[in-house]
Amino acid sequence: MARYIFVTGGVVSSLGKGLSSASLAYLLQSRGYKVRIRKLDPYLNVDPGTMSPFQHGEVFVTDDGAETDLDLGHYERFSGISAKKTDNITTGKIYNDVLKRERQGKYLGKTVQVIPHITNRIKEFIKNDVSKEDFVICEIGGTVGDIESLPFLEAIRQFSNEYGRTNTLFIHLTLVPYMKASDEIKTKPTQHSVKELRSIGIQPDIIICRSERTIPLNQRKKISLFCNVSIEDVIETVDVKTIYEAPISFNKEKLDERVLNYFKIKSKKKVNLKPWKRITNLVLNTNNKVNIGVIGKYVELKDAYKSLDEALTHGGIANNLKVNLIRIESDNLKPNQIKEKLKNVAGILIPGGFGKRGTEGKIAAISYARKNKIPFLGICFGMQMAVIEFARNKLKIKNATSSEFGNSKASVVGLMSEWIKDGKIMRGTDKNLGGTMRLGSYEARLKKDTKISQIYNSSKIKERHRHRYEVNINYKNHFEGKGMIFSGLSPDNKLPEIIELKDHPWFIGVQFHPEFKSRPLAPHPLFSSFIKAAKKNSI
């Protein structure tokens, strides 16, 4: 029977609940247990797929095609466990489901209410699709006290009663601020947050205290006394210099030990922190660095390209380098500024994106990378733009474009096919924007003797997609005749998945998002190779 660990947050948001959950998952896993991590999000969107990156940061995509919260990316990167559709639930999804059932008359005439109907559905989800796991860690989004989180908190309270208090553990993460004026660490916000939690019937078993500086014993004792947890279960987490230090720091503070102690079980194996120590050391101490220019629409926003930023860092780790990201806003990038803005970069990356705004700057930058033999990686939209640039400037199709920007006779990128997955046509004709993309893991076959097949060292790969448009396969011969090779195709040969340039040291575009599968302990080969090529270019 799986043991459940619920992680809630208090006082303020952005305390690092996701990172704490992910680190705990790694530690339990390293001790020999099978772990699963889930995110319960209180917002009303059915999934984050339709939310702008300005609102919610990146949309993370799972192998099975769910558009999820970016925390699932943290989970995957730290635990190495691939997340599934069933690992992210939102209030919107729950209500959608309950209302559908109500319309079908499944509640047999009863009044449908938050308790028990919504809470029951949440509990069903928590238990759903769990089989051999020893631990299921469920992070509850938001902060205790938010109106939206209430049904989730009520559901986990009920769950713990029904499933057994000894099989469920509540962890509460709070802020313990330092007041400069009085030179003191303050425990009151934590006390209030726990009081709020207890008023809904949840007594935390472990309190993780996020703090700028070490919490003195006296203050820990205070938290223990007022919040009704033993002193060993007051775990401090002092700001780390790099996120890769988090598993090391939580282990040092005995978080994993206390969790096992709560469930009265022993570790099966000794925790292995060596890989984290190695990369922490590397990230903090290496003096080698390489400048990579990332040109996108949301570069100002910290979390908009979370997985991409991480994957580039991983590429650096694989090459013993620090990757210095130079973020360039595509909206204001005038073609005549390209040379000046890109003069210090050793590699150029154009990430995924949507809409026409900012595309001319991107296309001009691609032209520059192509002509000046600067390593270039185009991801999804970035590959589509590389194809358009090549069509315009090498194939002389002057009006080459994507049908995403309006109807055109020269759509080298377009809605080409009603592509099929598992025998079903996936793209409907309805007007809904949510869930109408090619999503999740798809296979691609790599052409022999190409750069991409060397990089992957394989002829078949599986990568995650999130897009509506495709490069038009009918132009294949035309492109290849001028030196742009379609080096990866879908198994039915209908969808171009990868392009590369013959006469260029490193110019690759991929229709998928390799960044979703890169992990600090297993950097993605495309990013390792891209950074290596950029480094070579910078010497």
Binding mask of the shown chain, residues 64 to 103, with x at each position contacting ligand GLN by CB under 6 A? ----------------------------------------
Q: Smallest distance from the beta carbon of 466 to ligand GLN, in angstroms?
A: 5
Catalytic residue, chosen from 380, 463, 504, 524, is 380
- The Cα–Cα gap between 281 and 286 comes to 8
State the catalytic residue, choosing from 117, 172, 467, 513.
Answer: 513
Residue from 38, 111, 103 nearest 68 by CA: 38
Tell the smallest beta-carbon distance from residue 506 to ligand GLN (Å): 20
Quick one: how far is CA 224 from the chain centroid?
A: 35
Q: Closest CB to ligand GLN among 4 and 469?
A: 469
| Residue 11 or 495 with smaller CB distance to ligand GLN | 495
Assign 3-class secondary structure to 57-122: CCCEECCCCCEECCHHHHHHHHHCCCCCHHHEEEHHHHHHHHHHHHHCCCCCCCCCCHHHHHHHHH
User: In 3-state terms, what secondary structure has residue 331?
Assistant: coil
Whether 380 is catalytic is: yes
Footprint of ligand GLN on residues 448-467 (CB under 6 A)? 466-467
Closest separation in Å from C-beta 380 to ligand GLN: 3
Residue closer to ligand GLN (CB basis): 258 or 466: 466
Exactly one of 404, 463, 497, 515 binds ligand GLN (CB under 6 A); that residue is 404
Q: Which is nearer to ligand GLN, 16 or 49 (CB)?
A: 49
Measured in degrees and rounded to the nearest 5, phi and psi for residue 462 equal: -130, 125
Q: What angle do CA 59, 530, 386 make, to 5 degrees?
A: 70
Detail the DSSP E strand segments found in 330-477: 347-350, 376-379, 401-402, 411-414, 420-421, 424-425, 438-446, 460-467, 470-471
Question: Could you give the count of Cα atoms lying within 13 Å of 483 in the half-sphere of its Cβ?
Answer: 12
Say which residue the tokens 């660095």 belong to: 289
220 vs 464, which CB is nearer to ligand GLN?
Answer: 464
Q: Tell me which residues in 183-202 interact with ligand GLN (CB under 6 A).
A: none
Q: How many other C-beta atoms can be found within 10 angstroms of the C-beta atom of residue 125?
A: 20
Q: How far is the CB of 281 from ligand GLN (least distance, A)?
A: 35
Q: Which of 31/466 has CB closer to ligand GLN?
A: 466
Amino acid at 321: L
Cβ 352 to ligand GLN, closest distance in Å? 3
Q: Considering the rule CB under 6 A, would residue 380 count as an interface residue with ligand GLN?
A: yes
Using the minimum distance from each CB to ligand GLN, give the nearer residue, 36 or 306: 306
Structure tokens at 473: 């396969």
Binding mask 331-370 for ligand GLN (x = CB under 6 A): ---------------------xxx----------------
Rounded to the nearest 5°, which phi and psi values hold at 474?
-65, -15
Shortest distance (Å) from residue 316 CB to ligand GLN: 23
Tell me the C-alpha distance between 282 and 285, whole Å: 5
> Could you say which of 468, 476, 478, 536 contacts ligand GLN (CB under 6 A)?
468
- Which of 59/118 has CB closer to ligand GLN? 59
CB of 463 to ligand GLN, least distance (A): 12
Q: Smaller CB distance to ligand GLN: residue 328 or 350? A: 350
The DSSP secondary-structure symbol of 519 reads B
Q: How many residues bind ligand GLN (CB under 6 A)?
A: 10
Distance (Å, rounded) from C-alpha 168 to C-alpha 524? 36
- SS3 (DSSP) at 462: strand
- CA–CA distance, 405 with 224 (Å, rounded to integer): 59
Separation between Cα atoms, residue 227 and residue 454, nearest integer Å? 57
Q: DSSP string covering 213-278, please?
A: SPPPHHHHHHHHHHHT--GGGEEEEE--SSGGGHHHHHHHTTHHHHHHHHHT---SS----HHHHH
Indicate the residue among 42 and 440 with the shorter CB distance to ligand GLN: 440
Q: Is 360 exposed, middle or buried (0-12, 13-18, 19+ CB in 10 A)?
A: middle
Q: Catalytic one among 133, 463, 515, 524?
A: 515
Residue nearest to ligand GLN (CB): 352
Give min distance, CB of 510 to ligand GLN, in A.
10
| CB of residue 34 to ligand GLN, shortest distance in Å | 32
Active site residue 515: yes
Alpha helix stretches (DSSP H) within 351-428: 359-371, 381-393
Shortest distance in whole angstroms from residue 462 CB to ligand GLN: 17
From residue 316, alpha-carbon distances to 236, 289, 322 in Å are 30, 8, 5
**Site residues (CB under 6 A) for ligand GLN?**
352-354, 380-381, 404, 466-469
Q: Which residues are catalytic?
A: 380, 513, 515
